[in-house]
Amino acid sequence: MDFYEKMGRVPMQELSPLKAGPTTAPSSEDSTTFDGTHLNAEGSVAVGAMVAAELRRVVPELANSIRADRRFIIVSPDAGGDFKTLHEAIAAIPDNSALRTFVHVKPGIYDEGQILLPASKKNVTFDGEDPVRTVLRYHFNVQESEPSAARGFTGTGVVILADNFHASGIGFENVSGNHGQALALRIDADRAVLKNCRITGWQDTLMINKGRMYFKECFISGRVDFIYGSATAVFDECEIMSRNRGHITAANTPQNQPYGFVFLNCRLTWDPAPWVNINNPNDPGSSKPDKADLGRPWRDYACVAFVRCQMGDHINPLGFVTWVGAEQRNQTVRYSEYKNTGPGASTEGRNKWVRQLTDE
């Protein structure tokens, strides 16, 4: 029951067969085509693995006779799981599986260096219990050496290269500080879904590339370009917190890609804690609250939309701003807003190349 409740109605449909007889195509908005009572092959693996794990726990003498199915893996920093680290769990996940593997991550601070999910580990769910208490922590930025970091991914805490990655109840954080690029999470894959996750850092907190992604009820914080990349991504009812000054987005949407980042019904907030330039504590702007903008174009044709979002008074009246030294990008950007609210949503001072959408 805990597993079902945490997954939610729509994701649980992946574990249920279709009803017998003629049906319409299944839809995330209509569960009537799903059986809802029995399990399909993927559901049998997930629930069967839970039964096996419980049998091993309550009848230890049977442990050697019960196969430890690696489609449902429990990670715990103490002795209460199949593995103590995410590295061990990822190594146990079957390659190129058509069935989903659920990695249930017990509460704890997982300080394991860089965590990389390779492209061969498709259809994987990281399932945590609480994004504040279940945290994947990283300490390095791109200028610092970390022996376990994969080539090309320095300064990045968690790297996801596998399609169909899901995560819920997980915290991703880079605690290197406000002195350069330091990624908490990078996703270079298609069809990633994150729900109720916390992604925190300073500069370049979240990089999303190459595919389609969906973020639901997540908390994302940072200071400079802290949501960036080339993906098509929807942020639905998320809180986007600026940590004093800087830029929320830095999209580099390809020219032939119709959409980039879409923020739906999100809350744009700011961190009231004083900002300190650790490289120059005497910087007169260190403790001065300042405006943050909605984004700047990392490349030509950057595409970002804010739709029905609540914007605090920390948002720059210009809205989006120019990438200094690349003013020509203002001619190709696809920045738009629609029916946003709050003191930061006023359109009176917006740059003229930011489009205000109509109902039509």
By percentage, how much of the chain surpasses pLDDT 90? 65
For residue 248, is it left (φ>0), alpha (ψ between -120 and 50) or beta? alpha
Of the ranges 3-17, 42-56, 58-72, 214-228, which is most confident? 214-228
What confidence category does residue 273 fall into, taking pLDDT thresholds of 50, 70 and 90? Answer: confident
Please give the Cα distance from 209 to 189 (Å, whole number): 7
Q: Which of 52-56, 161-165, 313-317, 324-328 comes out lowest in average pLDDT?
A: 52-56
User: Structural domain of residue 39, as residue ranges?
Assistant: 1-69
Unique residue bearing structure tokens 């799981």: 81
Which residue has better confidence, 341 or 290? Answer: 341
Whether 50 and 142 share a structural domain: no
Whether 102 and 181 share a structural domain: yes
Which residue intervals of 274-357 are DSSP H helices? none
Please give the Cα distance from 153 to 331 (Å, whole number): 32
Active-site residue, selected from the candidate residues 2, 204, 283, 359: 204
Whether 249 and 313 share a structural domain: yes
What confidence category does residue 279 fall into, taking pLDDT thresholds of 50, 70 and 90? Answer: low
Check: CB of residue 257 under 8 Å from CB of residue 232: yes
Whether 199 and 262 share a structural domain: yes
Does position 283 have pLDDT exceeding 80, yes or no? no
- 225 is an active site residue: yes
pLDDT for the residue 5: 79
pLDDT for the residue 288: 54
Residue 223: name the closest of 191, 206, 201, 250 by CA. 201
Active-site residue, selected from the candidate residues 82, 127, 188, 225: 225
- CATH number assigned to the domain comprising residue 92: 2.160.20.10
Does position 255 have pLDDT exceeding 80, yes or no? yes
Residue type, 345: A
Which pTM value belongs to this model? Answer: 0.83
The predicted model gives 87-96 an average pLDDT of: 94
Whether 187 and 76 share a structural domain: yes
Phi/psi of residue 247, each to 5°? -130, 135
- 2 is an active site residue: no
At 351, list the tokens: 């740059």
Does position 124 have pLDDT exceeding 60, yes or no? yes
Look at the chain and report how many structural domains it folds into.
2
The predicted model gives 193-209 an average pLDDT of: 97
The predicted model gives 58-84 an average pLDDT of: 82
Whether 82 and 133 share a structural domain: yes
